[in-house]
Each structure stands twice: as C-alpha cells, then as structure tokens.
C-alpha cells in the first residue's frame, strides 16, 4: 500500500530546475532514507511533498491530509526565545483534532504525558524551550509529531548534533511510528544510521532520483557486508553518533 507517490516530477527553485523525471512510491510503514549531496534537491523535494512547493511538471500523489503531514526541517523556524514549555509545545501537536479554538481535554493531556514518557523527557515537561539541549529539543519536536498522529513524517537530518542516547530513542520511536503504518522519509548523511534505520533509499544526484536498497548501497559505498535494515539497537558505549 502506498499513500505517497511521485509521478514524473519536475521541481524548480528560482527558475532553475532542481529535479526532473522523478518517479517512485513510498510504501506505508517503511522508512525511506533520502540521500544526496548538498544542493541535490532534498529540501526541495520535501517541500513539494509537504504541498508547499508547486511542481513544474508531474505530480506528487499524497493521500495523507495536510494536517497529518509533519516536517522537521534542519534549519528550525522555531523561535526558541518564545516563552513556552516542552509540554505546551507537544500539546500544540493536537491542532489537527482541536484546531485553533477547542480547549485541550484531559485525555489529550494524558496522551501528552505518555508521549513525553516514551521520549524520556517527562522531567522536562515544564522546562522552557530555550533551555533545552539539541537532543532534548529534537525529542520534544518528535513528540509534537506523535501528538499530531502524523501519517507522513519528513525529517531533515534529525540526528545532527544529537547525543548517542537520543539517537537510540529517536530511532526506536521512528521505527514504532513506521510499524503503526506511518510513512517516514529521513534525510541522512551517515551510513551507520542509514543501515540501522532505512528500509529503502532514494538517492538524489545530478537532478535525478535513483532508488536503491540499503544493502546494495552499503555494499557499494561502505565496502561492508550488507546489514539487515532492522538491527538490534544496541551499540557499545564507544559508538560515535555524530555525523561529522
């Protein structure tokens, strides 16, 4: 089953074609890694999938309603000086069900607390956003998408500048979301992370897209034996999580 499909897609930015003849389908419940050099069009493609950029030609077929699509860009538009706590941020994720006017109900607050517990940030519930570390912030933002019950989740380098423990937590939650049927697309630069997370890979280069399996990719580029896409998520303490 697929709710997201690209059909001979051509995208441009400022009059310059960035991507063309892009085809493919993103399976429900799968995590697709989106890889490519800087400027290859990853963010452009994500914007088109969010419905924020009109294609020059071709189509993005997306059956996920707008309010169930979530995008966590790398350059956050988030104003961190705004006086808001982690819990309040997560509660804003209930917008699809509550809109601008309805008050939050007890059940939603409970859900918010469950989500924070799952992400290991219960103790930060009342902490202002500006006082969070990069990893804590990323957990809180993922919490908002859980609250949103996002069915399509687009993440731009979610593990950049994030500590190893947070990477594990985030990966677990992302896999859980996929198992519950959500479609996930994650921009990655790190082969190790790709091998742990991706079920499928879309490579953008030279204005075109190519699909590959993570195994094939790893074999070719890393020269390592192919790894199963669903690895046990335990690593030695010395494991280096940075993308640098």
Partner 1 sequence: MLALLDAWLLAPFEYGFMRRAVVAGLALSLAAPPLGVFLMLRGMSLIGDAMAHAILPGVALGFLMAGFSLPMMSLGGVLSGLLIAVLAGSVSQMTGHREDSAMASFFLISLAAGVMLVSLGGSSVDLTHVLFGSILAVNGTALILIAGIASLIVVALAVIFRALVVECLDPLFLRGQGVHGSLVHGVFLGLVVLNLTAGFQTLGTLMAVGLMMLPATTARFWSQRLEGLIGIAVVLAMIASTGGLLLSYHFSLPSGPAIILLAGLAYVLSALFGRHHSLTARLRRRAAPLAATDSP
Contacts with partner 1 by CB under 8 A lie at 50, 52, 66-67, 69-71, 73, 76-79, 81-85, 89, 92, 95-96, 100-101, 123-124, 126-128, 144
Nearer to partner 1, 43 or 193 (CB): 43
Nearer to partner 1, 81 or 238 (CB): 81
Q: Which residues of 52-75 are buried (b: 16+ CB within 10 A; e: fewer)?
A: ebebeebebebebeeebbbbbbee
- The Cα-based distances of 100 to 11, 68, 84, 94, 242 in angstroms read 33, 16, 17, 10, 38
Nearest-approach distance from CB 238 to partner 1, in angstroms: 26
CA 66 to chain centre: 16
3-state class (DSSP) for residue 223? coil
3-state class (DSSP) for residue 141? helix
CA–CA distance, 62 with 4 (Å, rounded to integer): 5
Nearest-approach distance from CB 36 to partner 1, in angstroms: 22
Residue 127 burial class via C-beta count within 10 angstroms: exposed 0-12, middle 13-18, buried 19 and up:
middle
Nearest-approach distance from CB 229 to partner 1, in angstroms: 28
Residue 5 burial class via C-beta count within 10 angstroms: exposed 0-12, middle 13-18, buried 19 and up:
middle
CA–CA distance, 227 with 235 (Å, rounded to integer): 14
Residue 126 burial class via C-beta count within 10 angstroms: exposed 0-12, middle 13-18, buried 19 and up:
exposed
3-state class (DSSP) for residue 210? strand
Nearest-approach distance from CB 71 to partner 1, in angstroms: 6
Nearest-approach distance from CB 66 to partner 1, in angstroms: 5
Nearest-approach distance from CB 8 to partner 1, in angstroms: 25
Nearest-approach distance from CB 87 to partner 1, in angstroms: 12
């Amino acid at each position: 089953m697929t709710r997201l499909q690209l059909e001979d897609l051509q995208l441009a930015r400022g009059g310059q074609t960035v991507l063309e003849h892009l085809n493919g389908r993103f399976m429900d419940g799968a995590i697709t890694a989106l890889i490519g050099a800087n400027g290859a069009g990853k963010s452009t493609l994500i914007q088109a999938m969010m419905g924020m950029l009109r294609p020059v030609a071709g189509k993005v077929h997306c059956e996920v309603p707008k309010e169930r699509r979530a995008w966590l860009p790398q350059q956050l538009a988030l104003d961190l000086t705004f006086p808001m706590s982690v819990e309040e941020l997560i509660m804003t994720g209930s917008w699809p069900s509550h809109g601008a006017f309805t008050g939050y109900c007890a059940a939603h607050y409970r859900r918010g607390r469950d989500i924070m517990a799952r992400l290991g940030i219960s103790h930060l519930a009342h902490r202002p956003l500006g006082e969070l570390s990069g990893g804590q912030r990323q957990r809180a933002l993922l919490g908002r998408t859980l609250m949103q019950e996002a069915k399509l989740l687009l993440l731009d380098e979610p593990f950049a500048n994030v500590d190893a423990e947070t990477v594990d937590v985030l990966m677990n939650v992302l896999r859980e979301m996929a198992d519950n049927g959500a479609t996930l697309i994650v921009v990655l630069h790190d082969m190790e992370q790709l091998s742990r997370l991706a079920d499928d890979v879309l490579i953008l280069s030279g204005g075109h897209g190519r699909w590959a399996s993570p195994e094939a990719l790893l074999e070719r580029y890393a020269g390592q034996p192919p790894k199963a896409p669903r690895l046990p998520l335990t690593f030695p303490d010395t494991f280096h999580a940075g993308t640098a």
